[in-house]
Structure 1
Amino acid sequence: MNRILSLFRGASMADLSSLCPDAAWADYQGGGLLNLMQTLSRELGGPDLGHAPLASAALAGIGRHRHVCLILIDGLGAAQLASLGPDSRLRAHQRETISSVFPPTTAAAVTTVLTGSAPAEHGLIGWHQLHGEEIIAPLPLYARYPASRGGGEQRRADTLYRARPLFDRLGRPAFLYLPDFIAESPCSRFHAGRAPRVAYGGLADGFAQLARGVNGAGPAFHYLYLPQLDTLMHEQGPDAAAARALLAEIDAHFAALLPQADACDAAMVAIADHGFVAAAPECWADVDADAELYGLLALPLSGETRLAYCHVKPACAERFLLLARERLGHACWAVRSRDLLAAGAFGPGPQRPDLARRCGDVTLIAKPGWNLRDTLPGEKPLRLAGVHAGVHPDEQAIPLIVRRP
């Protein structure tokens, strides 16, 4: 955990630390998700992605196995695994705690897994983000602002996705097992590249499809994406009894697969994209409730409820920053977005040309327990029981689970 809490070096990190005390930032130097993908790619005969390898030896030699399976359990942070599944088989095979990326959210982290590139490179940095003249959701590809009636998803995908898919560049065939409701989406089609996508209908079917995969001719790489726990924890919270029960179900499927994995020489790796924190209903800051502050914005908020990108009207950035610190200081840290970029918060590698524009002028980083929102005409105020994408350690820390034959 200490690696996760102190990851940047030099003056830039000191500046951010003074603004956001005890914040957990992503580790890109050897202890994070990006480094895991660098090591996994090299182990499986894929490209050198140009990033530091994983400092841990947890994946050393894993490419010698006939099959390698990567199971991504969306939202299963290290804290959630410890609290919801302390006696689980998944926990028993946890080798390390590593960091996610910044921000620790599905759009940024899963895209890092699928491309082997940092958020700075692939450019997907929140559930909502500025793209062209729209604020869109980069995964389902709808427009939040200006509001659209649907359509345009493929048009947005064609101009949004730029990072090259990784799995079809590995030195062995790759298969992606995806929920049937996203398997044919523009996002899935692009990021799978030439690798086959296998749609599944539920948890049991997902693991059954994976079992059939490892029983086939090898060597091969298999990627199983499980979004179910994330969905439930958003709705009911990370400490809900239903979350505990769902993790137990996932764990039972994982355990049941192990004998076949042994027989087929399949190494099992399980990770998450991010963790979670609870969202108290009384700790939502409505940024649009302050007419003076909100009136300085040229666009609605983008990003996440735990991390909001603010695009400010010309010549108003410093005024907005001052007012945000005065009036929202109980709920968030207000930082210049350029400082996040200069500090390398979004990771190494060549930055997307439009990354700075997507980050806006000011970023509001929610303090522990708090969330930020605005509500546009036609929207209902957002209410979630569990959230992520901020700088709390429980959002950033994820487990690295490795089980070899």
Structure 2
Amino acid sequence: MLNRKPDYERDNLTNLMASIGLAFGRKPGRYPALDSGCLTELDQAQHVVLLVIDGLGYRHIRRNAQGGVFNAYLKGSLTTVFPATTATAVTTLMTGVAPQQHGLTGWYMRLSDQDNAVAVLPWRRRDGETPAGLAQELHTALPFVEGLEVDAVAILPQNLTASAYSRAYYGRSRMLGYATADQCWDQIENTIRMAQRRSFVQVYWPRLDALSHQYGVNSPEVFTHLMELDQAFYDLLQRLEGTDTCVLVTADHGFIDAPEAHHLSVHEHPDLARCLRSPLCGEPRAAYAYLNAGSEAVFDELIATRFQHCVESVASETLLQAGWFGLGNAHPELKHRIGDRVLLMKDDWIIHDRKADESGFNMIGVHGGVSADEQMVPLIAARV
């Protein structure tokens, strides 16, 4: 099977969150903490800042930020969850559990009582409608901060502070929005310096992800922004000096670039499309196929004979049983939400389809797959 699956037993985002929980007095849970001694910066810290830079891959840092501040404080790499995408991984960072428990499986997700796929992060159906009760159906995992005896603060772009997703998964956290980079760093410093007791501050930065999608992860635009973030991290450490704060930096996923010649469009292959009873869900690098009854053999034969150069098709149940989505008991809807087949894209290929009223796929940078560039994220830690 392609490349690597997440290791939820060690060096995973779930293990990072378990370590943060232990540092704040939470009892061990389903996911073990990082190895003892791996993150000594957390020990007895008065404040913890978790800065999540959307799309910041470990291998990207190693290739493009050598000699920078990120690399100076780099502890190593973590694996993200499967699939390697924001909807699954940021939810893990906000709940402390893998998709196996929180049940969110990608950008588009099919619910058992909905004929239309749901876009998880904006919390709306693919047809643009938002049915009553949708938020309650999607939100089942508890926010990570629930039960922690600390001040909880979430700092995120202003337009995200009131979203249904943010309200659900940041829980009781005090929401602070920012419109500029300077406002973001000011909010972090002010929060720490005004804290009256131990605090946990979650910060979300989406700009690198947006640039990587638009221009490609290897573009000058992304490199320039990476250097800006590296300098901003240095400045933040200087501003927090003497506050007894552990500043952690990680990401939800990394990136690869997908050339247009390696886009597999379902609507260009009618025999493939006829096997599907609904549009693909999940991600362009890891798509969930829902098959019409009786079409399984035809679909498998098509993939094996015509698309084997770019797709590995795996029975969804196989990945579920092998622990690709996490450890322990599964969310009651998880099996339905991953379809009949998972299409793992090889090399730098993607697969997509579209409804008649949707535009074509136009992103250069992509993620969601199982390559090391997508799966490996950094663990950066500093104590100031």
Normalised-by-shorter TM-score class: over 0.9
Pairing partner for 2:145 from 144, 154, 167 = 167
| 1:137-156 equivalences in 2 (<5 Å) | 137-144=119-126, 147-148=127-128, 150-152=129-131, 155-156=133-134
Report the AA paired with residue 85 of structure 2. Answer: T
| 1:6-405 equivalences in 2 (<5 Å) | 17=1, 20=2, 23-55=3-35, 57-60=37-40, 62-131=42-111, 132-133=113-114, 134-144=116-126, 147-148=127-128, 150-152=129-131, 155-217=133-195, 218-405=197-384
| Alpha-carbon separation, structure 1, partners of 2:130 and 2:140 | 21
Secondary structure of residue in 2 paired with 1:352: coil
| Alpha-carbon separation, structure 1, partners of 2:36 and 2:357 | 49
Secondary structure of residue in 1 paired with 2:223: helix
| Alpha-carbon separation, structure 1, partners of 2:147 and 2:184 | 24
| Alpha-carbon separation, structure 2, partners of 1:81 and 1:280 | 22
Single out whichever of 102-111 and 50-59 deviates more from structure 2.
Answer: 50-59
| Alpha-carbon separation, structure 2, partners of 1:39 and 1:268 | 14
Residue 63 of structure 1 and its aligned partner are, at CA, apart by: 4.3
Single out whichever of 254-263 and 385-394 deviates more from structure 2.
Answer: 254-263
Q: Does the CA contact (< 8 Å) of 1:66 and 1:265 recur in 2?
A: yes
Secondary structure of residue in 2 paired with 1:75: coil
Residue 61 of structure 1 and its aligned partner are, at CA, apart by: 6.1
Gapped runs of 5+ residues in structure 1?
1-16
TM score, norm. by length of structure 2:
0.96
| Alpha-carbon separation, structure 1, partners of 2:144 and 2:298 | 43
Report the AA paired with residue 252 of structure 1. Answer: Q
Single out whichever of 79-88 and 89-98 deviates more from structure 2.
Answer: 79-88
Aligned length: 381
Q: Does the CA contact (< 8 Å) of 1:321 and 1:335 recur in 2?
A: no
Q: Does the CA contact (< 8 Å) of 2:18 and 2:32 recur in 1?
A: yes
Single out whichever of 391-400 and 84-93 deviates more from structure 2.
Answer: 84-93
Report the AA paired with residue 149 of structure 2. Answer: G
Identity among equivalent positions (%) equals: 33
Residue 55 of structure 1 and its aligned partner are, at CA, apart by: 2.2
Q: Does the CA contact (< 8 Å) of 1:98 and 1:399 recur in 2?
A: yes
RMSD: 1.4
Report the AA paired with residue 59 of structure 1. Answer: L
Residue 155 of structure 1 and its aligned partner are, at CA, apart by: 2.8
Secondary structure of residue in 1 paired with 2:277: coil
Residue 47 of structure 1 and its aligned partner are, at CA, apart by: 4.5
Q: Does the CA contact (< 8 Å) of 2:110 and 2:281 recur in 1?
A: yes
Secondary structure of residue in 1 paired with 2:110: strand
Report the AA paired with residue 183 of structure 1. Answer: T
| Alpha-carbon separation, structure 2, partners of 1:168 and 1:341 | 28
Secondary structure of residue in 2 paired with 1:215: helix
Secondary structure of residue in 1 paired with 2:332: coil
Match of 1:4 in 2: none
Residue 58 of structure 1 and its aligned partner are, at CA, apart by: 2.8
| Alpha-carbon separation, structure 1, partners of 2:125 and 2:305 | 31
Gapped runs of 5+ residues in structure 2?
none
| Alpha-carbon separation, structure 2, partners of 1:50 and 1:373 | 35
Single out whichever of 324-333 and 276-285 deviates more from structure 2.
Answer: 324-333
Residue 29 of structure 1 and its aligned partner are, at CA, apart by: 1.0
Residue 169 of structure 1 and its aligned partner are, at CA, apart by: 2.4
